[in-house]
Structure formats: structure tokens, C-alpha cells
Amino acid sequence: MIAKQIQGTDFHKVLDYVHNKSGARLIGSNMTGQDPDTLAEEFRVSSHLRERLTKRVYHVSLSASPTEKLTDRAWVEIARAYLKGMEFDRNQHVIYRHIDREHEHIHIVASRIRITDGSIVADSWNYRRSAVGATRQLKALPNKEHKGVRSKKIG
């Protein structure tokens, strides 16, 4: 798996991108919305808990190798393991699958603010956490072909 991480300020912009891409499908979420407008409104709930935080959006794309073909269920399992490894498992999140390239990939959009208590997932060491913590979670999955995560820096 290759992880490309981006932090941002605008939920609606990233949700619009992941939702409206040709062939995009919402495959997992812990939210009720099904479209960018509704989901962005739901993300605002956690945003109000930490109004001073500017980079509220965590966006990562996880890519499989071109030879790897996964089901939606497998992708959701991978995404949830990744979220746990990155300490986002108690945060609002959505998982979109894209099939617009030769390699399968998903996009995870999450709030950095925990809805339960307003605490923030730190953004320091994101790349190390992705490579180490998320890999540990992926190795625990029954499907052992997901051996690890390599992080690529964007920007």
C-alpha cells in the first residue's frame, strides 16, 4: 500500500473531489450523509469543537499495487485498520473508492477533531505513524497480502 497524505482546511472541497470523480463510490463511513453538502455539514459539528484549528481535514489516499484487486469489503477493512493505526478511529470519516486509474485506490477523509471530546489528532509524525502504526494494524488483518504502508509526502 502507498499512502499519500494531505491536510487541509475545507471539507467541502475535498468531499466534492472524492465524491464527484468519475467512478467514485462511497463504501464506508461513520456518518449519515451521502453527498458532499450533507457530509460537509456533518463535519462542521466537530469543527465547532475547535474553531481555532485551521487544518481540520485529514485526507489520505491508499493505493494497491496494479495487480491487486480488492473488494469493497476488503478496502473498508483496510481503511478502518489504517484509521486505527493513525489514531483516527474515533473521528468522523468517510471512505471513497476510485477506479479511475490502473491501480485501485481509496480516499479517506477524516476530521482531526474527535467528536467525543474535542481532542485533536496530532499532525506531528504523520508519515512515521502511517508507515509504522498503520502497518501494524494492517498486518493484524486476516488477509496478509497488505504487508505495509509506504508514505509519500505531498506538497
pLDDT tens, residue by residue, 139-152: 666 664 554 444 44
Which among 92, 6, 109 has a CA at the least distance from the CA of 44? 92
What are the residues facing 106 on neighbouring strands?
62, 97
Give the separation between CA 38 and CA 81, rounded to whole angstroms: 25
CATH number of the domain located at residue range(s) 2-153 in this protein = 3.30.930
DSSP H helical segments within the chain, as ranges? 11-20, 36-47, 72-85, 126-129, 135-139
pLDDT at residue 133, as a whole number: 61
Question: Which regions in the chain score pLDDT beneath 70?
Answer: 127, 131-155
What are the residues facing 4 on neighbouring strands?
61, 152
Per-domain boundaries in the chain = 2-153
pLDDT at residue 135, as a whole number: 67
What is the pTM assigned to this prediction? 0.86
pLDDT at residue 68, as a whole number: 82
pLDDT at residue 101, as a whole number: 72
